[in-house]
Amino acid sequence: MSNAKPNIDLGLGLAGTHVLITGGAGLIGRVVVQHFVAAGAYVSSVDISYAASVRESESNTHIEIRADVSDPASFTDAWEDATQIYGTVQCVVALASLDLSVLPQTPSFADYDPVAWKRVLDVNVGGTLMAAKLWLSGLRKHHGIPGNEILDNVSFVIMGSEAGHFGVRTCAPYAASKSAVQGGLLQSLRADAPRIYPRARVNAIAPGAVDTERFRAETGGPGTREWWAECVGTTALGEPVPCEAVARTALFLASETWSGNVSGQCVNVDSGKMGAVMWMPEEKK
């Protein structure tokens, strides 16, 4: 019997992969960008908050592009800029969204402004839909040109939320938007993507409350104390999720080496969350 040890490669295999990340300037997004750059990927980070239209890093492996994902023309221009620099986008991490920290909270959905909820859907759903369309269109174009290289790590990672499972009493539009992308869109793209490009995969991440400095500040304010109560009262680990945990899950799902046969899955990175707080003690007095 041979005593030779198997040669097992534990690398991510993401070096040289063109990864486009929307919402890359956000509190979670910037950590995700850092992790993909560290993995050796070429990263195009798209965010509406960037000052310049295109800014390249000193390392020449990371660019920042200003664009509004809810504006098809703006987003398409940004996508074309990215492909001109790094080639066909192989992997997308669709992070860009309006989250609970910037959205109005109301005592009931009956009080919610239709203009405000339309903006939520335009960014959170429309922006993710547009990212998927541009990704698939680019893959189809690449695949249709004879002699083009075979692409690795062809994947689309949707950023969902625990809200897509459990809802948000004070912000139903946000919960509806996350349910849409990590539910119906995920399952539709799962079937579509490999018809466009062989072995193309689509998955989602549904984080629980993420432990950013903004979240810690918010949970002491009016109308948000129950969010912290959920972090400790409805999760097995009794704590919010580190940004790094979300980033590492994105790396895993992007890597064909590690998740090449994972598709159509919504991975819950939520510290073992089992539900939402229904009533705060003072409400039942």
Mean pLDDT in residue range 30-59: 91
Q: What's the rounded Cα separation, in Å, for the pair 40 and 14?
A: 6
In terms of C-beta density within 10 A (0-12 exposed, 13-18 middle, 19 or more buried), how is residue 283 classed? exposed
Indicate the pLDDT class of residue 194, thresholds 50, 70 and 90: very high
The total number of residues written for the chain in this structure:
285
Mean pLDDT in residue range 16-23: 98
Whether the per-residue pLDDT at 221 is higher than 50: the answer is no
Mean pLDDT in residue range 233-256: 93
**Strand-strand pairing, 62-66 and 42-47:** parallel
Q: What's the rounded Cα separation, in Å, for the pair 40 and 37?
A: 5
Least confident of 12-16, 126-130, 234-238, 251-255: 234-238
Q: What is the pLDDT of residue 238?
A: 85
Secondary structure of residue 238 in the 3-state scheme? coil
Looking only at Cα atoms, what is the longest distance across the chain? Answer: 73
The answer to whether the CB of 203 falls within 8 A of the CB of 234 is no
Q: Which of 163, 150, 158, 143 lies closest to 201 in space, CA to CA?
A: 158
Q: Per residue in 127-161, pLDDT tens?
A: 999 999 999 999 999 999 999 999 999 999 999 99
Q: What's the rounded Cα separation, in Å, for the pair 28 and 19?
A: 16
CA atoms within 13 A on the CB side of 198: 6
- Where b means 16+ CB within 10 Å and e means fewer, 195-224 reads ebbebbbbbbbbbbbbbbeebeebbeeeeb
Alpha helices in the chain (DSSP H): 29-38, 72-86, 114-121, 127-143, 163-166, 172-179, 186-196, 213-218, 225-233, 243-254, 256-259
Whether the per-residue pLDDT at 90 is higher than 90: the answer is yes
Where exactly are the structural domains of the chain?
18-272
Whether the per-residue pLDDT at 223 is higher than 50: the answer is no
Q: What is the pLDDT of residue 222?
A: 39
Whether the per-residue pLDDT at 212 is higher than 70: the answer is yes
Mean pLDDT in residue range 44-51: 95
Q: What is the pLDDT of residue 258?
A: 97
Q: Which of 173, 174, 168, 32 lies closest to 99 in space, CA to CA?
A: 174
Q: Which of 17, 15, 223 lies closest to 111 in space, CA to CA?
A: 223
Mean pLDDT in residue range 64-71: 97
Which of the pair, 124 or 1, is modelled with greater confidence?
124
**Crossing angle of helices 186-196 and 127-143, rounded to 10°:** 10
Q: What topology is assigned to 18-272 in CATH?
A: Rossmann fold (3.40.50)
Whether the per-residue pLDDT at 225 is higher than 70: the answer is no
* Mean residue pLDDT across the chain: 92
Which of the pair, 282 or 265, is modelled with greater confidence?
265
Indicate the pLDDT class of residue 2, thresholds 50, 70 and 90: low
